[in-house]
Amino acid sequence: MTAAGASATAALAGGTTAMSAAANAELTPRDFTAIAAIMQSDARIALSEAKMTLVQSRLARRLREHGLSRFSEYVQLVERDKEERGRMVVALTTNHTHFFREPHHFDHLRETLMPLLREKVSQRKPVRIWSAGSSSGEEVYTIAMCLLGADRASASWLRNADVKLLATDISPPVVEAVRRAWYPENAVQAIPEAYRSAWMRPADGGFVMADEARAMVTARVLNLFESWPLKAQYDAIFCRNVMIYFADDAKEELEQRFVDQLAPEGFLYIGHSERMIGPASLRMRSCGHTIYRKGE
């Protein structure tokens, strides 16, 4: 073996050792408590001890990237390094999502909300919808496709209309995915064929959203527990499968802020296993499974 080959093998062995050391690093209750406290203070995400294995496996890569073999060293690092702290929060968010998830919400959107939005557009009023905790954009582009309709002709009501969809998430990589608007073939299979052929085109081995859908969507990094730079009142807010990660006080706080941000008679859509739990629910009425409307 040449000297270069030998040193490459040694480097590889070193790398492998660091990799397995990170993968095998033990997460002690003390380190877990410190990590959970950061998640609670930065994102209000509540991590119970049942999540220890998940935390250990999701952070193994972070340890590896820093050549660390102990979680205690990683905790010290995130306590002094703001950027790594942000990366840790991102690594511990759950971004699972898909197109047309919880389809009854989109039936409601098409049957109940859209006639109201069309009416607003005909009166030259703005329409605003927010996907809060959007992940990689499948939710906001499902909304966009419902508004555009099942064929290209059905989108004519949107021509020159002031209709804007906002997608926000705490995680920069998923916000970047919304902006890219590219999805692999297996993600696109959940989209009914008519919408797919009207509003997606093949690109780079997957599919990209049509310009008409992209033009409606603005994507921003936003921690829901920081201030919201939002001027508009929203006709609908989708915050689905996000609040499940928060403790009750955080959920109640967010519910209040969502209701404040809704226009009168605006709709709030939440995830299938969620319900409004705080006093803000008194300012809303239930109108379907996990759908609420502003106004008592």
**Contact status: 143 vs ligand SAM (CB under 6 A):** no
**Contact status: 95 vs ligand SAM (CB under 6 A):** yes
Kindly list the distances between the CA atom of residue 179 and the CA atoms of 73, 128, 137, 167, 217, in Å, as whole numbers in the listed order: 35, 18, 8, 10, 8
Question: Which amino acid, residue 212?
Answer: E
How would DSSP label each residue in the chain?
--HHHHHHHHHHHHHHHHHHHHHH----HHHHHHHHHHHHHHH-B---GGGHHHHHHHHHHHHHHTT---HHHHHHHHHH-HHHHHHHHHHTS-----TT-SHHHHHHIIIIIHHHHHHHHHTT--EEEEEET-TTTHHHHHHHHHHH-SSGGGGGGGTT--EEEEEEES-HHHHHHHHHTEEEHHHHTTS-HHHHHHHEEEETTEEEE-HHHHHHEEEEE--TTS-----SPEEEEEE-SSGGGB-HHHHHHHHHHHHHHEEEEEEEEE-TT----SGGGGGEEE-STTEEEE--
Question: Based on CB atoms, which residue is closest to ligand SAM, 51 or 118?
Answer: 51
Stretch near ligand SAM under the rule CB under 6 A, chosen from 42-50, 54-62, 154-162, 259-267: 42-50
Annotated binding residue 223: yes
Interacting residue with ligand SAM among 112, 223, 233, 256 (CB under 6 A)? 223
Residue 169 annotated among the catalytic residues of the structure: yes
Annotated binding residue 186: no
Beta carbon of residue 184, minimum distance to ligand SAM (angstroms, whole number): 16
**Contact status: 130 vs ligand SAM (CB under 6 A):** no
Interacting residue with ligand SAM among 56, 69, 171, 261 (CB under 6 A)? 171
Pair type for strands 182-184 and 200-203? unpaired
**Contact status: 96 vs ligand SAM (CB under 6 A):** yes
Question: Based on CB atoms, which residue is closest to ligand SAM, 58 or 70?
Answer: 58
**Contact status: 159 vs ligand SAM (CB under 6 A):** no
**Contact status: 82 vs ligand SAM (CB under 6 A):** no
Interacting residue with ligand SAM among 47, 148, 174, 200 (CB under 6 A)? 174
**Contact status: 129 vs ligand SAM (CB under 6 A):** no
**Contact status: 251 vs ligand SAM (CB under 6 A):** no
Phi and psi at 264, nearest 5°, equal: -55, 135
**Contact status: 256 vs ligand SAM (CB under 6 A):** no
Annotated binding residue 160: no
Annotated binding residue 93: no
Question: Based on CB atoms, which residue is closest to ligand SAM, 69 or 241?
Answer: 241
Q: Which of 175, 166, 165 is nearest to 95 (CA)?
A: 175
Question: Which amino acid, residue 105?
Answer: H
**Contact status: 38 vs ligand SAM (CB under 6 A):** no
**Contact status: 290 vs ligand SAM (CB under 6 A):** no
Stretch near ligand SAM under the rule CB under 6 A, chosen from 9-17, 95-103, 202-210, 211-219: 95-103
Annotated binding residue 159: no
Q: How many residues bind ligand SAM (CB under 6 A)?
A: 25
Q: Which residues bind ligand SAM (CB under 6 A)?
A: 43-45, 93-97, 101, 133-135, 139, 169-171, 174, 223-225, 240-242, 245, 271
| Residues with active-site annotation | 58, 169
